[in-house]
Each structure stands twice: as structure tokens, then as C-alpha cells.
Structure 1
Amino acid sequence: MPGSHINDHQVRLYMKMRQTVSPRSAAACAAFSTATAYRLEQDAQLPSQKKAPRGRRRPDPLADIFDSEVVPLLESAPGIRAVAVFEEMQRRHPELPDGVRRTMERRIRSWRALQGPDRDVIFRQVHEPGRMGLSDFTDMADLGVRIAGVELDHRLYHFRLACSGFEHAHVILGGESYVALAEGLQNALWALGGAPREHRSDSLSAAFRNLDASARDDLTHRYDALCRHYRMEPSRNNRGVAHENGAIESAHGHLKAAVRDALLMRGSVDFGELAEYRRFIDEIVARKNARSAKRIDAERAVLQSLPGMRTSDYEEVLVMVTSSGGFTLRKVFYTVPSRLIGHRLRVRLYDDRLELFLGGTPLFTLPRGRADRKGKHDHVVDYRHVIHALRRKPMALLNLVYRDQLFPREAYRRMFDRLIERLADRMACRTMVELLSLAHERACEAELAGVLESLLATPQGMPDMAALRARFAPDPAALPEVIVELVPLSAYEALLAPRAEEMA
């Protein structure tokens, strides 16, 4: 077309047509004039090859400092960010404008590509079926999940088969530990129905933190024993090199995104109890596994068979019950029935619970508490364990160390605050202890909490102990009528008579 420049595509088309037709015909096919065709016959260079290199339109603002100052800085600190280099140059040269930042970033990127240090190479792997399973933990605090109105500080233990993509997730209440790993891993293997030949985890640095040398060795031996029990070869990636665990690291993001989406569709992050939230996680993972069901079934066929039983997934500790009516373990005080004072108990420490034994006799299970991140002690208190002693010493409630944890529900705590405001300390403590005692003896903790809530809703509401005892007293109509008939004494003589004849 007259007045427009020809491009490389037209020239290539002309050269191709010129092999079979005349210059005039080839020029017509390429959509330019015959004169242009004859000019190309003399000089067949492409138009792009004839353009002169574009020069700078303004002076280089980095000409005086890049080679003399920036390059030595990049050579001495290879990992430094480009923005940090720019800020340092602005500190040294205040006249350097902000608009030069992008220019410096591009210049540094080009220098690193041409003269920078070698970078790490990630080698993609072919995963053999039944070969490798991977474990890791991922923090879920940013989702804001709440249990009974309290935000849940938790992690997910995440297991995945590298080949088929089978996944299993388990809610972990504490930090990364051997107990959490052992429980989550065994749950995953028994849900899968087999074990891979190799188990890969990270360096477990969080589990080893704050342990002395002997404790670290013991933890290493226990982890190795766990893998031997399932005939898996243990392996670990290098510390701080996450891509060596990439088959599960990338899956973390997909799982968290699926949980976040499911919470949005659910319309709430509140759950009534922990078991409900765990079922919620299990349903999400089950749906993910259903999409890979054929691959999982194919890999399941080549997995190793499971042993006859699970191995231990707990730590065992001996504790002494003190005169305070409980024991302290891992900066947490637990109450137990006072009849155990002075006894040494054997405690099996799980991630979310404690199982107590007296010798070989199982006693009961307690929920596991966690010390504050700043080191402040916590308390796990059951008011039923100490209510009989509080009835004898009600004033002990006033300054009790674990008073807030003693109240089983929020209504009890709020009622005690009102009693303290309106009654003398002695009377307030006595009334509160009677309320707790009533809740325990009549097994009406929830119902009594509802009554206290209604009283708290009125400005002058105060508990009437006589009315409450009558309200929660056993219903006489519901009690069975027992009629005892007394037999005459002569009946006993009739029974003894044959025995007396035999002895004679």
C-alpha cells in the first residue's frame, strides 16, 4: 500500500513467491510495488535488520554509580534485594530521583542474569506408586475459626501420597510435636489401608525446639521406631529448603483455599464443638480424594500391608498429685479428685487429651491445656473435683488462682461478679459455692446456667437458693413407690427346722 512501510512478513512472502514467478507477480502477492521488488532484488535484507539500534534519549542516571558502587554491593551480598540497593544509593546520593527505581531494578536483574551467581535448580521427579508419603504441618490461624465463640489456635497435620495425591488432614491444637505427627500419621495410614515404602517429613525443627540433647536423641529414636513399625524408610528434607518437600508444600495452599471457600459457603466460622469442626475438615478432604479415586485405588494396591495394631502415639509422664488437688504438667495445672492426693499417676499425653492411670488401672481422661505463648501458666479445672472442699472453705473462692477457670459456664462467672458487687465477700462466696454445689449434686449445670442468664438479664436479679433447690429437687411423682412387706419370724423358724434335724 502506498505510503506504508513493508514488514518482514511481506519480504519473506516475496522471496518465497520469487522462486517460481516473476518479480512483478511476486510483488503483487506480497502487496507492494514493482519498484520495491526490484530494490529488494539488489538488497534482500529484512526491514528489521536495516533499522539502526535505538540509542538513549536522555543521559543514563546510573552511569556514575552502577559499576563503581552497585556492582560491588551485589557481589558482596548476592541475596540483597534490589529495593534495598536503591535505598542505599539514595542515602549516598540524595539527588537520585525516585523515578530511577524501576531502571535500577531492571539493570540489576540483567546484571544477575549475565554475571550473577548460579541459582538452585529444582529437578522434577517421577513418583513411583507406593513409594513415598509426605507429612507436614500448616498453620490455620488466619482463617479465624471459632469453637463455642472462642477463636481456635490450631494447625493441620497434612499427609499426602506423592503419586496418587491421596490426602489426610488432622486438626492439631498444639504446636508441631512428635505426638501430633505420630497420631496424624497413623490416622492417615489406617484411613488409607496401607503404608508407603518411604516417609518424608521436614527437619522437625519445631518439634526439637527447646529440647536438650538427650530429649532430642529420644525423639529421634521414637520417630525411627514409628517408621520401623510400619516398615517405612524415614527421610527428611534439608532445613529451610521447602521445595524438597514440594509434593505436599504446594498441596497446603490448595487445602487451605478449599477450607476457606467451604467456610465462605457455610456462611460462618463458628462451630459448636471441636468434633464438629473436625468432621467439617474430613468432609473437605474426602471430596478432594473422591476426585482422584481411580489413581488412589491403583496406588493402594501396591502399598505395604499394615501391622496388626497401631503403635504408641503419646508421651508417658509420671506426676505427683499435690495437696492443691491436682498436678502440674508442661506449665498447666490440672485438677483431679481429692482422693488421689499423694498418689503418683501415670499420664499418657496426647495432642488434645490426657489419659490418667493409677498403676495399671485407667482413671479418666482430661482435656489438654496449653501454656500461654509468653510462658504464663494455664489451668484445666473441673469444679466437681474441688466443690466438696470449697463448701467447707467458701472464702477460698475469693482469691483462688484458677477462679475464672473454675466456673463451668460464662453465666456462673458473670453471676459471681454481680454477687461480689452487691453482697459482702463472705456471703457472695458462700452463695456462689452453693450454686456450684447445686449444679453438681442435682446434675443441672446447663439448666441452672439458663436460670442465671435470665436473672442477669434483669437489673436486680439475684439467686434465691431456697427457690432454686426446690426447683431442681427430684419430682416426688417421678420417684417409684417401694412397698416392703415384713414376713413373720415364724417363717425363719420353719426354714431352720430341717437344718436342725439334720445336725441332730
Structure 2
Amino acid sequence: MPGRHITDQQVRLYMNARLTRPQTNAAAMAGISVATGRRIERDPRPPSARKEARQYRTHVDPLEGLWETVVVPMLEAAPGLRPVTVLGELDRRHPDRVTPAIRRTLERRVRAWKGLHGPDREVMFPQTHSPGRMGISDFTYMGKLGVCVAGVPLDHRLYHFALVYSGFEHGEVVLGGESYTALATGLSQALTILGGTPHEHRSDSLTAAFRNLCIDDAQDLTRRFAALAAHYGMVPTRNNRGVAHENGAIESRHGHLKDRIAQALLLRGSSDFTCLDDYRTFVSGVIADHNRRHAGKIDIERAHLRALPPTPAATWDEASVRVTSSSGFSFRHAFYTVPSRLIGHRLHLHVHDERIEAFLGAALVVTLPRGRAPAKTAGRTTTHVVDYRHVIGSLRAEPGALAGLSYRDALWPRPAYRRAWDALSTVRSARDAGRTMVGLLALAHDQGVEADLAVALAAILDAGGLPGLADLRARFMPASATLPLVHVEMPGAGSYDRLLSATAMELAA
């Protein structure tokens, strides 16, 4: 074509076609003119073989006088210097020589110099993995997906486990940080689903992952994880601190898993979930679809896994607390209420990632949701995990304490109760508002109508009214029934003699 240079491929195509076709057809097949075809036949060398190396420059070298005298000595003294750093130094020393056009030239020259004279670089060694040999796990941050639960953004992580050979994956939604309980729970769940354990488990350096711990706690954490791995018969290994690519088999999977979840959210049409369990089910479904696609290799790997131990692993932290006169205890910047009968007792806690189990001796007395302070205020504020049922008996006797109660805002079981308090405290005295709200909580507790009462409160408030305790009691408390009058006629003593005589005659017969 006019104005366009022919390529080596066009020359080869033309010459091959000329073996069986006329010149016109061969030129058309190669996309060239007949005249170009004649020139090719006169000199069949490809264009690349005809070019001669140019022995002169077509542009002025922007680094002339600077490369050998300034830049090369800098690189020899510090081979790790980046081109942008060198450019900044040149601008400082020779401001009259540095122009925007010099950067690309400098980058190209530095790259070529490092290829010829630079230090050896770190080599990545590809590995061949055998089935059943290695499992890997790590945490990955999921906040950028924009997931919401009941309209509230969910700041969370995902514990991610995978088998290197087959690609089996398991994920657990983690609300707190990277804790031992989250790691141990997620790993135990993954191995239970697999039905076996790999020979080796690799993770990030624990002391790096949990860098907020003191030295003693970090060492204790490492010992506990070693004990967990020993329980499952796995050899624990870890990559070097700060070298994430050594655990690259899981790092790359993080991105793929988050991409699959993001795509599934797009197909779903919404990233808002009614409750946390719905989101957990959604994530489990995405991972299950991935595992189904790798079912063949997963079945092969299962045959090489070691058997699970007969007893489950201890995946919780332990602590001991004393229940105060406030009918609660404080643990890790959170205050928890418990039944008031436990005041003065010392409870032994099993601290899981999402719940706390409290034992009195060997008896489980209460299970509480795990409380955590917001991430930006963790360690500076106290979170309250309150169940009004634990304290309603004492509040009923002392309703005036409600107004100044330190955890009052956490006491309300549903939003409608909070709205009722706000409305009542606006127009009534704190004492009267407290009596009404304590009465409503007692009504919800005694009659088991917490949800129905919340619906009634919301309807009253939406209509612009205020809840009346007497009306709501009449509505939700069963009406007292009048007992019927029962007349009991006592038989005479002589009737017993006749009964005994009849019985004796039956026995004689």
C-alpha cells in the first residue's frame, strides 16, 4: 500500500504464494501491489535484512556530558537509586540541563545500565506441589467491597484458607482484627469441611501479623499456634517477616476471591444484606461454586490428607473475671451484663471471635455476643453489651436509676424502645419517663411480647402520640378471669359404712 512499509511476513507470504500462483494473485494475498511484488522478486531478502545499522544520531543526546561523569558514578555508589531520584539530583546540580524530555531517556539508560552492571536481583523459584502437602492461610481486608448489613457499612476481614495443589478454598467472615481465635476457628472449620489435614501449614509471621502484642504475648501466641498445628498433625511454617511474596500462593488467591465476590455482588444487584448471617451464607456460596469447579483435583487431594484428630481443637482464648455489683464485668474495653444472681462470683471465659461463653465452675451459665469498640476509637472507649433481662428485676425496684444509667443507650432491645425514651424524656421529667420505660421493659420481659410491643410503640410514635403504660398493659397483659363458684357437698359419715358393707359382701362372694 502506498505510504506503508512492507513487513517480513508479507514478503514470506508473497514468495510462498508465488510457488503456485501468478504474480497478481500472490500480491493480493500478501496485501501488496504488483510493482512491490516485482521488486521482491528482484531482491527476495526480507526488509529486516536490508536495513543497515545507522552509524549516526538523529537527535542531540540530552545526557551528553552528564551520563558518564555524574549519573554512572552515582549508580556505582548506590545501585538501588531510582531514576526519579537521579533526576532530582541532576536538577539540583545542573538545573540548566534538566528538561521534562530528559526523564524517559534517563529511565531507559538506567534500566540498561542495571541490566549490564547492576547487582543480582532476587530470584523467584517456581514450585511443584504434590497433593496433600501444603495448606496456606492468611487474612485479607474486605472493606473496599462496600458491603452493608441493614444499611450499615460492614468493616470486616476474611480468613482465607486454601490447599495449594487442588485450589480448595474456605473463608470465614471476621469482624474483629487478626486474632488467634479467628485464625484457629477458621482453620478448624476448613479442616473439618475437608475431612483431613495437610502435612504442612504455612501462614504469615505471627509476630508480624499481631504486631500490637508485647513480646511475651507474641511468644505465647506463637506457642499456641504451634500447639494447634501439632493437634492436627501439621508442620507449621511461615514466611519471613515483611516478605509477603513468600506466601504468594495465598496472596494471589486473595485478589481472585475478592474479584469473584465483587462480581457476585454485581449479579445480585445489591451489596446490602438484611443480617450478617445472610452475608456469611452469600460468601460461602461464592466459595462453594469455586470448589465445585475444582472438585476433581480436590477429591484427588483428599485421598492424601491425614485423618482428623478424634477431639476438636481449643480455638478460644481464656480469661477469668469477677462479676461486680453492677451485674456485669469488663473485658477488653467492653462491659457485659450477666444475670444478677452471679454478682460476686468469678466466671471463667471462653473467648471466641464472635461470642463469649461464661462458665461458673464447669457449668455454662451464659453466652454473650462479643463486643468491640469502633476501630477508630478502640482502646479509648468502652462498648456495652447489655441484655435488659439481666437487670430488669433491680430496675423495676429502682426505676429512677434509668435516667443516669451509664449504659442506658445499650439497654434498649429494639429501636422502637429508644424512640419511645427520646419522645418521653423530651416532654416529661426524667423520673416519669424512667418509670414508664422500666414498666414497658418489664411488660416485654414478663409477657414475652418484646417484638409485638415494639411494633405497637412504633405505631404510636409514628402517629405523633406518646406511649401510655396503662393502655399497653391492658393491651398485652391477659385479662384476669373470674373463677366459677364450685359447691362441694360433703357426704355423711354413714355412707362410708354402707360402702364398707358392700365391699365386704363382694369379697365374701
Q: TM-score range by the shorter chain?
A: 0.7 to 0.9
Counterparts of residues 2-21 of structure 1 (less than 5 Å):
none
Distance 2:357 2:202 in 1: 30
Match of 1:62 in 2: 63
SS at match of 1:316: strand
C-alpha distance 254-161 of structure 1, shift in aligned 2 (>3 A):
same
Q: CA deviation at 1:489?
A: 9.9
**What residue in structure 2 maps to residue 469 of structure 1?**
473
The correspondence for 2:198, drawn from 192, 196, 199, is 196
Provide Cα deviations, 1:410-443, integer angstroms capped at 9, x if missing partner.
2222222222221122222222222222222222
Does the C-alpha gap of structure 1 residues 34 and 117 become closer, same or farther in structure 2, counting only changes over 3 Å?
Answer: closer
Tell me the TM-score normalised to structure 1 length: 0.84
- Quote the offset at 1:287 in angstroms: 0.7
- The residue number in structure 2 matching 1:434 is 439
Is the Cα–Cα contact under 8 Å of residues 8 and 48 in structure 1 kept in the other structure? no
Q: Is the 8 A contact 2:148 2:271 kept in 1?
A: yes
Give the aligned partner of residue 122 of structure 2.
120
| Equivalent of residue 423 in structure 2, options 418, 422, 440 | 418
Which sits farther off after the overlay, 397-406 or 169-178? 397-406
Change (3 A) 1:4 1:310: closer
CA RMSD across the alignment: 3.6
**TM superposition shift of 1:295:** 0.7
Deviations 1:19-75 (A, max 9, x none): xxxxxxxxx9994459956xx9xxx99764653427444433333544555455555
Question: In 2 relative to 1, CA 77–137 (structure 1 residues): closer, same or farther, beyond 3 Å?
Answer: farther
Q: Is the 8 A contact 2:321 2:346 kept in 1?
A: yes
For residues 146-185 of structure 1, the aligned pairs below 5 Å read: 146-185=148-187
Selected match of 2:229 from 218, 227, 230: 227
Instruction: For residue 85 of structure 1, report the CA deviation from its aligned partner.
Output: 4.5
Change (3 A) 1:69 1:325: farther
Decide whether aligned partners of structure 1 residues 118 and 473 sit closer, same or farther in structure 2, where only a CA change above 3 A counts. same
**Counterpart AA for 1:442:** Q
- Where 1:51 maps in the other structure, the secondary structure is coil
Do residues 53 (structure 1) and 58 (structure 2) align? no
The structural deviation recorded for 1:445 is 1.7
| Paired AA for residue 430 in structure 2 | D
User: Which residue in 2 is equivalent to 1:335?
Assistant: 337
Offset at residue 14 of structure 1 (A): 12
Change over 3 Å in CA distance of 1:4–1:474 after alignment to 2: closer
Change (3 A) 1:98 1:395: farther
Which piece of structure 1 moves more, 252-261 or 199-208? 199-208
* Cα 1:128–1:426 shift into 2, 3 Å: same
Tell me the alpha carbon deviations over residues 291-332 of structure 1, each in whole angstroms, 9 at most, x when there is no partner: 011111111111111111211010111111111221111111
2:312 alignment counterpart: 310
Mapped contact 2:62–2:102 kept (Cα < 8 A): yes
The offset of 1:229, in angstroms, is: 1.2
1:164 deviates by 0.8
- Measured against aligned partners, the alpha-carbon deviations of 1:245-296 in whole angstroms (never above 9, x if no partner) come to 1221111111111111111111222222222221111111111000011111
Q: Deviations over 1:162-181 (max 9, x none)?
A: 11111111111211121111
Structure 1 residue 387: Cα displacement = 2.0
Cα deviation, residue 476, structure 1: 6.2
Q: CA deviation at 1:113?
A: 2.5
Counterpart CA distance in 2 for 1:34 and 1:449 is 91
Give the distance between the partners of 2:195 and 2:364, measured in 1 at CA. Answer: 30
Question: Pairwise mapping of residues 100-499 of structure 1 onto structure 2 (< 5 A)?
Answer: 100-205=102-207, 207-373=209-375, 374=377, 375=379, 376-458=381-463, 460-474=464-478
5+ residue gaps in structure 2? 17-33, 501-509
The alpha-carbon distance between structure 1 residues 416 and 122, as it changes in their structure 2 partners (threshold 3 A), is same
Q: Give the match for residue 20 of structure 2.
A: none
Pick closer, same or farther for the CA change 1:121–1:423 going to 2, 3 Å: same
Shift of 1:141: 1.0
Q: Tell me which moved more, 427-436 or 77-86.
A: 77-86
Q: 1:13·1:30 contact (CA, 8 Å) conserved in 2? A: no
Do the aligned partners of residues 428 and 48 (structure 1) sit closer, same or farther apart at CA in structure 2, a change above 3 Å counting? same
What is the Cα deviation at residue 343 of structure 1? 0.6
Give the Cα–Cα distance (whole angstroms) in 2 for the partners of residues 455 and 70 of structure 1: 80
Q: Secondary structure at the match of 1:98?
A: coil
CA distance 1:474–1:56, change in 2 (3 Å): farther
- With over 3 angstroms needed to count, the CA separation of the structure-2 counterparts of 1:167 and 1:94, relative to structure 1, is same
Deviation at 1:212, TM superposition (A): 2.9
Q: Which shows bigger deviation, 2-11 or 369-378?
A: 2-11
Task: Return the alpha-carbon distance in structure 1 between the equivalents of residues 40 and 95 of structure 2.
Answer: 60
SS of alignment partner, residue 368 of structure 2:
strand
Question: Once the 2 structures are TM-superposed, how far is the Cα of residue 115 of structure 1 from its aligned partner?
Answer: 2.7
Superposed CA deviations along residues 125-161 of structure 1, whole A, max 9, x for unmatched, are 1101111111111111111222233222211111111
Give the whole-Å Cα distance in 1 for the aligned partners of 2:2 and 2:473: 107
Distance (Å, rounded) in 2 between the aligned partners of 1:436 and 1:77:
73
Matches within 5 A, 1:67-86: 67-71=68-72, 74=75, 79=80, 81-86=82-87
Instruction: Give the Cα separation in 2 of the matches to 1:239 and 1:304.
Output: 29
The answer for unaligned runs of 5 or more in structure 1 is: 17-27, 498-504
Query: For the Cα contact (< 8 Å) 1:145–1:269, is it kept in 2?
Result: yes
SS of alignment partner, residue 309 of structure 1: coil
Q: How many residues align?
A: 476
Tell me if the contact between 1:387 and 1:437 (Cα under 8 Å) persists in the aligned partners: yes
| Identity over aligned pairs, percent | 54
Residue 372 to residue 91, structure 1, CA distance change in 2 (3 Å) = farther
| Residue in structure 2 matched with residue 98 of structure 1 by the alignment | 100
Moved more, 421-430 or 390-399: 390-399
- The separation in 2 between residues aligned to 1:208 and 1:5, in whole angstroms, is 62
Q: Do the aligned partners of residues 341 and 91 (structure 1) sit closer, same or farther apart at CA in structure 2, a change above 3 Å counting?
A: farther
* Compared CA separation, residues 101 and 419, structure 1 to 2 (3 A): farther
CA distance in 1, matches of 2:393, 2:457: 22
Deviation per CA, 1:160-211, whole angstroms, max 9, x where unpaired?
Answer: 1111111111111211121111111111111001111111111123553233
